[in-house]
Structure 1
Amino acid sequence: MSSPWRSEFPFLFLALLVGAFLSKVFDGFVVAFWFVLLVYLARHLFYANRLLTWLRGGKSGQPPQGDGVWEEIYYLIYRLRRRSKRRKKQLIRMLERFRTATAALPDATVVLGARDEIDWFNEAAERMLGLRRNDIGQQIGNLLRYPKFSQYLQNADYRSTVSIPSPLNENIQLEIRIVPYGDDLRLLVAQDVTQLRFMERVRSDFVANVSHELRTPLTVLKGYLETLNNANGTVPESTLKVFRRMEEQTARMESLVDGLLSLTRLESSTNQLMQKRVDVPLMLQSICDEVKLLADDHPSIELVVETGAGLLGAEQELRGAFSNLIVNAMKYTPPAGRVTVRWRDEGKGARLDVEDTGPGIAQHHLPRLTERFYRVSVEGCKNKGGSGLGLAIVKHALTRHGAELKIASTLGRGSCFSCCFPEERVLRGDFRTDAKIAQRL
């Protein structure tokens, strides 16, 4: 038994003595018992009322005086209140530090509730999004009235971002990201990307202008070299070898310029995606027929069409992406190898697989294969003269169609490049193409 209850024994003992005395005086045990019980109960009610008055007062000073078990109760509650007060002060300091830190952030930060209502925002949100203090509690979609942002909120796919102009200045571009946290809470972060977009536009314009300016001299140079190469008998053989070498490098530079122009067109915001029906099986058949003519010692190529489904998009962009993948597979596969092109319906989308039996690619190269000018020296394969832009063009073309490029490769066992298209891009039953054909070229 604890010490507070031992301190209560004197009061109980005194009550019993008084009860015994009263029972002798009034010669009635029952009356004495109830009298003592009422007095003892009144004592507890008195201290309980004192505790209630102290708690209602909300004061953090010393607790009321008490004796027996009530002294311990007062002390424990006083200690809990002090501890709670210290914890509250710590939380307030932490909250103030958080608000000070977020207020100093250059990016607009907004805390959203379960119904997209605004719970809190920093000063940058006032400058960039035009929010005011009386906007707290309002839904963010009612204040940022942009169709792209409304669709972003509705889709709730927070892995991506959305770009909108600032409500205060149409010349300022904002990139918005929403990060879920806690219970139905989200953090909206808006970053000013105006300068970044400007630099990207300058870079794109520079590449486009330089590429256009290079095409004319390259065409002239290529024409003269072709004329000189056809001058048999009038030009020494040693000189013809130099001309042929120059013609090869001119063709390589022309291919590089064409690749840069293709990337510029794909990246241009003014280049709207064409929404046309594309007969993918027929396109793949045409590409495979053309690829067969690349060289005499090409590997075998097998086209497997498991579905007659087509795609909704730009035919030329898709053709360029598929051609790049198939041509690359043919180039890096030995003549004794095999390239398999497979078009199939996955139920929730469609997929094109270009699989080869070439030397494969090391794993540490895979994340960077779609970077511009990134090339891999494949062991056992001589330089194929590529520009390093093919897979970058493929990635951009697929991104414009909402598709994803997946790459799997194992050294010594070959590679597989897969184009995964979303369900909304797949058209079924619109083409007069056999559902299942397999043709070896």
Structure 2
Amino acid sequence: MTDPQSSLSQHAARARRVDRRAQLRQLRLVEARQRAWREEGILVLAVMALGSVVAWVGAVTGWGLAWVLAPVTALVIYTAALLWRVIYLARALPITSQPRRVWGLPGLIQVRQRRLSRRWSRRQRRLIGLLKRYHHSAMTVPDAMVVLTAEREIEWLNRAAIDMLGLNRSDIGLRLDDLWRTPAFIAWLKQGSDRPALELVAPADETRTLSLRIEPYGSDRYLLIGRDVTALHRLQGVRQDFVANVSHELRTPLTVLAGYVETLLDTDEGQDPQMHRILSNMHQQADRMRRIVEDLLLLSRLETSQPDADWFETIDVARLLEPILNDARLVSGEEGHDIRADLDPTLTLWGVPRELQSAFSNLVFNAVKYTPAGGRVEVRWGRDEQGRAVFSVCDSGIGIEARHIPRLTERFYRIDVGRSRARGGTGLGLAIVKHVALRHGARLEIDSTPGEGSCFRVIFPGP
């Protein structure tokens, strides 16, 4: 462990050395100024003496213009000496070190020039060292890094890019989309600056999965970053398999249990008030567990499989929503919610009917469940200002705080656990909605204000 007293002493000694160097630099500068003024004074005196000699010689020889030409001669000589020194400095400007010192006042310019030259050399050395350290650190980063030009040409890459992306140093200067011809990657590369991250199999190793993203920097450069997410994908696969297997194993015993409870409710023993209450609670909880298992199985299928092209068809969404709205009015019952619908009967959608029905019904039923009695629920299907198809459900319910919104689509995430259970929620509805939207190229947007209500929108790609 470092001694605090020793550390303070080292800092104090370092500060004294810095002050001493600053004092020496200031002293040298003062000495250079004094020497320059002395030299310039000597030059002036010499020129004046020469002018006096010219005047004396003229007086001795009887030349009347000697007193006029003497100061002119002295001025010309001084100007010529000054001009010669300035020309020498001008010629020496590109040179970092002058072998000969310029005397007089122009020598101050030379001193300043040498100081600037030394300072610039130090800065260059520091910059070169910094660039070397940056290059070394960038080369050792475990993530793949590729610098691209505006034309998607490779300008620089690190060792991880060679390992993960199958590139070589000889590929510098070539277009990346000419080297990596995967259609999904080429389509992703052509997207705008707001492109999401892309996950795909590494071209150099099919057992590895990469997550790619592009960050612009400067005016015309892009940085492609690739991260190995193979371990994360394996963990997700294990989790999904576990959930799917457990859900399958739970389905049969839950069905048997619910069947026996229903049978007991129909017997004479089930008519006893106390026994009827116990069996009713058992049947209610078994039914809730059955719904959770069904939602888990559906969510597992959405996450682990890709929709078959044969499942897609042209959907009359207005007609699909009619039974959902009727069921929502039945769920509302005595609470008397004002359920309104604004549906465009001419707007159809290309998708999987069963998945979209599940997503739309989850949003509508959630709005009814979490809106107080007599509240308003508005269901809309139509195009927005940009021509995109949008399904929205807005309510006048309790609203959601902003800190909860980013986590609403997580599994089993509930804002109010007691209220959710009382309403019969499984905590999986919005997760199902999110995955259905992703499988149809759409996205889920949530706007909410506490005390004023919420609005859930599923925005599908434009025409």
Q: Same fold (TM over 0.5)?
A: yes
CA RMSD, aligned part only? Answer: 3.4
2:169 counterpart residue number = 133
| 2:356 matches 1:318 | yes
Structure 2 distance, partners of 1:12, 1:283, is 104
After TM superposition, the structure 1 = structure 2 runs for residues 47-66 of structure 1, keeping only pairs within 5 Å, are: 48=87, 52=91, 55=94, 60-61=96-97, 63-66=99-102
1:414 counterpart residue number = 453
Offset, 1:194: 0.8
2:325 counterpart residue number = 288
Q: Is the 2:188–2:195 Cα contact (8 Å) retained in structure 1?
A: no
Distance 1:9 1:328, change over 3 A: same
Unaligned runs of 5+ in 1: 425-441
Distance 1:165 1:16, change over 3 A: farther
| 2:364 matches 1:329 | no
| 2:420 matches 1:384 | no
1:90 counterpart residue number = 126
Structure with bigger RCO (C-alpha 8 Å, 6+ apart): 1
Offset, 1:18: 5.9
1:428 counterpart residue number = none
SS at match of 2:415: coil
After TM superposition, the structure 1 = structure 2 runs for residues 249-288 of structure 1, keeping only pairs within 5 Å, are: 249-272=285-308, 275-288=312-325
Q: Is the 2:414–2:420 Cα contact (8 Å) retained in structure 1?
A: no
Q: Is the 2:317–2:345 Cα contact (8 Å) retained in structure 1?
A: no
Any idea what the Cα deviations from partners look like across 1:410-435, whole Å, max 9, x if unmatched? 333332222223314xxxxxxxxxxx
Amino acid at match of 1:315: P
Offset, 1:126: 2.1
| 2:297 matches 1:297 | no
More helix by share: 2
2:442 counterpart residue number = 403
Distance 1:191 1:318, change over 3 A: same
Distance 1:35 1:403, change over 3 A: same
1:169 counterpart residue number = 205
After TM superposition, the structure 1 = structure 2 runs for residues 114-129 of structure 1, keeping only pairs within 5 Å, are: 114-129=150-165
Offset, 1:255: 0.5
Distance 1:43 1:414, change over 3 A: closer
Offset, 1:195: 0.9
Any idea what the Cα deviations from partners look like across 1:242-261, whole Å, max 9, x if unmatched? 33222211111110111111
Amino acid at match of 2:117: R
Any idea what the Cα deviations from partners look like across 1:275-296, whole Å, max 9, x if unmatched? 4322222222231123223363
Offset, 1:84: 0.7
Distance 1:12 1:361, change over 3 A: same
Structure 2 distance, partners of 1:343, 1:161, is 29
Does 307-316 or 90-99 show the bigger shift? 307-316
1:106 counterpart residue number = 142
Any idea what the Cα deviations from partners look like across 1:373-406, whole Å, max 9, x if unmatched? 1123289887112110001111111122232322
Distance 1:312 1:15, change over 3 A: farther
Does 72-81 or 381-390 show the bigger shift? 381-390
1:75 counterpart residue number = 111
Distance 1:133 1:5, change over 3 A: farther
Any idea what the Cα deviations from partners look like across 1:298-317, whole Å, max 9, x if unmatched? 42311122573232322222
Any idea what the Cα deviations from partners look like across 1:179-200, whole Å, max 9, x if unmatched? 1122222222110011111111
Any idea what the Cα deviations from partners look like across 1:118-160, whole Å, max 9, x if unmatched? 3322222222223332333333223333222222221133451
2:239 counterpart residue number = 203
Q: Is the 1:63–1:75 Cα contact (8 Å) retained in structure 2?
A: no
Structure 1 distance, partners of 2:115, 2:299, is 70
How many residues of Structure 1 are paired with residues of Structure 2 in the alignment?
420
Distance 1:36 1:270, change over 3 A: same
- Selected match of 1:361 from 400, 414, 419: 400
Distance 1:208 1:344, change over 3 A: same
**TM-score, normalised with respect to structure 2:** 0.79
1:431 counterpart residue number = none
2:279 counterpart residue number = 243
Distance 1:289 1:44, change over 3 A: same
Distance 1:104 1:344, change over 3 A: same
Unaligned runs of 5+ in 2: 1-32
Structure 2 distance, partners of 1:240, 1:162, is 55
Amino acid at match of 1:296: G
Q: Is the 1:359–1:378 Cα contact (8 Å) retained in structure 2?
A: no
Does 36-45 or 171-180 show the bigger shift? 36-45
SS at match of 2:226: strand
Structure 1 distance, partners of 2:48, 2:183, is 83
Offset, 1:218: 2.0
Q: Is the 1:278–1:315 Cα contact (8 Å) retained in structure 2?
A: yes
2:185 counterpart residue number = 149
Distance 1:34 1:116, change over 3 A: farther
Distance 1:200 1:380, change over 3 A: closer
Offset, 1:37: 5.4
Offset, 1:366: 2.4
SS at match of 1:333: coil
**TM-score, normalised with respect to structure 1:** 0.82
Does 36-45 or 263-272 show the bigger shift? 36-45
Amino acid at match of 1:215: R
- Selected match of 1:183 from 219, 229, 232: 219
Distance 1:282 1:305, change over 3 A: same
Does 234-243 or 86-95 show the bigger shift? 234-243
Distance 1:141 1:18, change over 3 A: farther
Q: Is the 1:374–1:388 Cα contact (8 Å) retained in structure 2?
A: yes
Q: Tell me which structure has the larger Cα radius of gyration.
A: 2
Structure 1 distance, partners of 2:305, 2:99, is 71
